Structure 1
Amino acid sequence: MSVKREFVGETQKGQAVYLFHITNKNDMEVTVLNYGINIQNIFVKDSDGNRCDVVLGFDDFEGYTDNKPTLGSTIGPSANRVEGGKYTIAGKEYHLPLNENGVNNLHTDGDNGFHKTVWDSEEGDNLVRFTYKAADGELGFPGNRTFTVEVSLSDDNELKLHYHADSDADTLINITNHTYFNLGGSGSGKVLGHVLQLNSHYFTPVKDKNSIPSGEKRAVKGTPLDFTTPKTIGQDIASDYEQIALANGYDHNFIIDGAVDEDGNVDGGMHEFAIVTNPATGITMHASTNLPGFQFYSANFLKDIVGKDGYEYGQYDGLCLETQTYPNSINTPSFPSPVYGPDRPYDAVTVYKFN
């Protein structure tokens, strides 16, 4: 196991940017930037023993400074959508930028937020620990907060993302990672032939094209969102089912089986929620988390993005499995609460295992 730090440039503010290489005994390698904790590469071996980079991204860190689709990015303090860009905690209303169609907040702030921040970093034997301190009111959130993100790799080919936050006041926290996976390799084309199984019998349908959940919990059975038995991503992606049509594919929050009780309480244990396989390369990824839900996004709106080796990424060229508390949960009392504070530190774990 090794962890190496590589200087790759400076931001316009003169901040040093480093790329960390974490490599295990199987020659699996994860590279991650201290800029935005952007995961740049995940190299795993295919069934023929060839090394394959299974995530979309850019060849250099400058690509991540104008990364509108947030390829590989760590998103926070608030991932996904907040309706109307406003929410209330302890009787006070807070406002976030209306950066999605002028009506909602998406991923905190496209020009700031975690994915545009240079984090302090510290290497361990098999990990890099990133730290960021945010002042009360920064980016539209209450509380003086300390965030840590540990990116680690095991000899069992497990990439682990461990998020933690402490705050001296109640605040909204919903952190995720927005890596686009393609188990055929970056630049190999669409993921429609990937076989996907989701351990989720329910999802949260959206109200309209603005993708805010209605507050309903709907069974996937009998809908194109039923992946409880394995099927290809492309099998039903062109369905005229209203939820698919609204999103131009899959862009929905799924409720993880066993993670939430009928009263909306999260048990906090680890649950496997997805298995993805590319039959052509033989690469399989298992995903698990202690969070209640995840956003399955099939890169419906990805287009005209020049990525690694000059390849132009397009629609359906990747898939995201973004672990989270449900979108707009801060404004939906029936959803699990994303409010954390002095008596409730934020602690979340997501693991992607490759074989």
Structure 2
Amino acid sequence: MMLTTNYLGLELTSPLVASAGPLSQTVDGVRSLAASGVGAVVMYSLFEEQLRTEVNREIALVEAHEESYAEATSYFPETVFPSDQSMAHEYLTLVEQSAKAIDVPLIASLNGADLGGWTEFAGQLQDAGAAALELNIYAVPGDVHLDGRTVEKRHVEIVQAVKERVSIPIAVKLSPYFSSTGQVALSVLEAGADGLVLFNRWLQPDIDIETLAVVPGVELSHPSDGKLPRTWIATLRNQTTKSLALTSGVETADDVIKDLLAGADVVMTTSALVRHGTDYATILLGGLDEWMERKGFSDIADFRGMLAVGSDADGTALQRAGYVAALERAKTTYGSLA
């Protein structure tokens, strides 16, 4: 079976990609992921807040000594980070070493929500050997008076700022929580993104009623989490020629197949690999291969997007019809329990 695919202009040996997560924190971890059969590895994310903290620390050190002797001011570097002990330097080093250690593309990941100097770090990731960049725009507005248009505009501005600094392709990982998710997705692509990763999962906190404290919530995804991104992949597939990646809810080969039928160029997973080990990727791909043979497909291109929404279809009407049909089925299935 032909499992090769194209993502962000990169030729991948398989449509399964290891998404950003804890398994890529070491060179050995990245090497293990690559050896499992995935088509690419996305590094864990470096956060805007981490970069800002280190920039501020370095600026403070410079300012504390800049008046020590005037003749030394000409020797101050134009870029104040990353220092040899910084988290940014460690990340760059890991990207450089990992890219050389594997024979599949390594995709670096930046996580941020605002414009600023942190976007300039994208260029250093490119220089370190990243084949592409995943820009995780994790914007959770805390100001209840901030209007939606401002939030959407910020996404476009961040993409434009990063594209000015790199020549490697970038994918943007979006949230589904917009008043018009499809419009925002297409706007980000028009701003220069080479692809989309759908979707970011909000890690909502919980409340501990004994300690009376808010506690962070981190949970691995479940198959049901794949329904929302799959719906939007199917909706967007015939609206753009750029790359679409689906992440969240991948647990079995059936999930991978569904995502490809909806129109995903690649299917990303971390939760399944954390649960079952990196070798589990071979089981997912083996299941895909077996299904293709059973259905008579010799190439992923033969069925990718087969169940996507047509380019001339009324997407709103289709979504509405699906909603009504689901409720009617629920009444039939559960109505007798009342």
TM-score (norm 2): 0.26
Which has the larger Rg? Answer: 2
The structure where helix makes up a greater share of residues is 2
TM-score of the pair, normalised by structure 1: 0.25
